[in-house]
Amino acid sequence: MNKVALITGITGQDGSYLSEFLLTKGYEVHGVVRRSSLINTNRIDHLFDPEDRTKIHYGDLGDGSIEDIIFNVKPDEIYNIGSMSHVSVSFKIPEYTGDITGLGVLRVLEAVRRGRELGILKKDVKFYQASSSEMFGLTPPPQNESTVFNPVSPYGCAKCYGYYITRTYRKGYGIFAVNGILFNHESPRRGMRFVTRKITRAAARIKLGLQDKLTLGNLSAKRDWGHSKDYVRAMWMMLQHDKPEDWVVSTQDQYSVKEFLYTVFKKLDLDVDKYVVLDDICKRPNDVPSLLGDSTKIRTVLGWKPEISYEELVDEMIANDLKLAKQEKLIKEGE
């Protein structure tokens, strides 16, 4: 009998790649989608029969609907990837961020606890929590599972709550609950508000004459950037381990936003000084200067390692955004 997985945030970058990965493993995959006026399932439309939406469940981490979904699906594995995931935006909507990114984790765990207690869910149901390197905040790198958290954004603070409540339910109720402390991971499916995708999309549009300028904020921030495909594989591996633990996932390499910017513009033969404008309006009230993960534990214990290099990641994102820009230009020329 196939395992059943439930993914919150299934329409996002990680949710779509995780769905693809689990389907190759023979899982029956279900996903939670927020009901909105706009249909935002483009990342997963190729995975589910449009005539059969029984595996897509409308719900929200902000209310009790998530418990109903979990009880109905009766999953073997739950991947809680859904959250308000943009650090800069979290400063604009801090209360909402705390509710969804923080308390949303509690709502899922409470549903698991109650479901096990009532006999609705299996005792060995497994839970994955998408924790974040933003929890480390101002703590100097390298950062691993023993590093002290020091968050400086509403998003980072909310993720810390999710991390600790996951550990609390693991210890207090014996739930197989793990934290994956993932460092930055990107792909062509990254949201356009995130800096890497903002850069590759703008560069492609500038190259094709569709855009004149790219406005950015802090270029000095350094990040450990991997590919989402590698990181969702790590999520699954954590739940296949014989005991629930917490794991850092990273490439153990680091580049600044400036280095990423110059790499992209160089590959497209564009002059950064000609097209890039710096504006303080794009800066965060607080920013994390340097994140660099030490993922020795998951490499040693689970045998995980990234398979897609930084250069391959950048090339893939550029190729995707050039393709989209060319399509956009054809539409404009046909108007």
What is the three-class DSSP state of 207?
helix
Is 140 within 8 Å of 190 (Cβ atoms)? Answer: no
Q: Where are the alpha helices (DSSP H) in the chain?
A: 13-24, 65-73, 87-92, 94-97, 104-118, 154-173, 195-207, 228-240, 257-267, 272-275, 296-301, 310-334
> Which class is 195-222+254-289+310-334 in CATH?
alpha beta
What's the Cα-to-Cα distance from 23 to each of 48, 91, 220, 257, 303, rounded to whole Å?
11, 36, 39, 34, 22
List the catalytic residues: 132, 134, 155
| Residue ranges of the chain with per-residue pLDDT less than 70 | 36-39, 49-54, 335
Contacts 24+ apart (CB under 8 A), 110-115: 110/67, 111/66, 111/67, 111/70, 111/71, 112/70, 112/78, 112/169, 112/175, 112/177, 113/169, 113/173, 113/175, 114/67, 115/67, 115/70, 115/71, 115/74
Q: What is the pLDDT of residue 37?
A: 43
Q: What is the pLDDT of residue 304?
A: 98
What are the residue ranges of CATH 3.40.50.720 in the chain?
A: 4-187+224-249
Q: What is the pLDDT of residue 332?
A: 84
Tens digits of residue pLDDT in 156-168: 999 999 999 999 9
Amino acid sitting at position 71: F
Whether the link from the prior residue into 142 is cis, omega within 30° of 0, is yes
CA 335 to CA 332: how far, in whole Å? Answer: 5
CA 67 to CA 70: how far, in whole Å? Answer: 5
| CATH superfamily of the domain spanning 4-187+224-249 | NAD(P)-binding Rossmann-like Domain (3.40.50.720)
Question: Whole-prediction pTM value?
Answer: 0.94
Query: Pairing between strand 222-223 and 255-256?
Result: antiparallel
Q: What is the pLDDT of residue 50?
A: 59
Q: What is the pLDDT of residue 105?
A: 98
CA end-to-end span of the chain, whole Å? 53
Is 197 within 8 Å of 318 (Cβ atoms)? Answer: no
What are the residue ranges of CATH 3.90.25.10 in the chain?
A: 195-222+254-289+310-334
Q: What is the pLDDT of residue 36?
A: 61
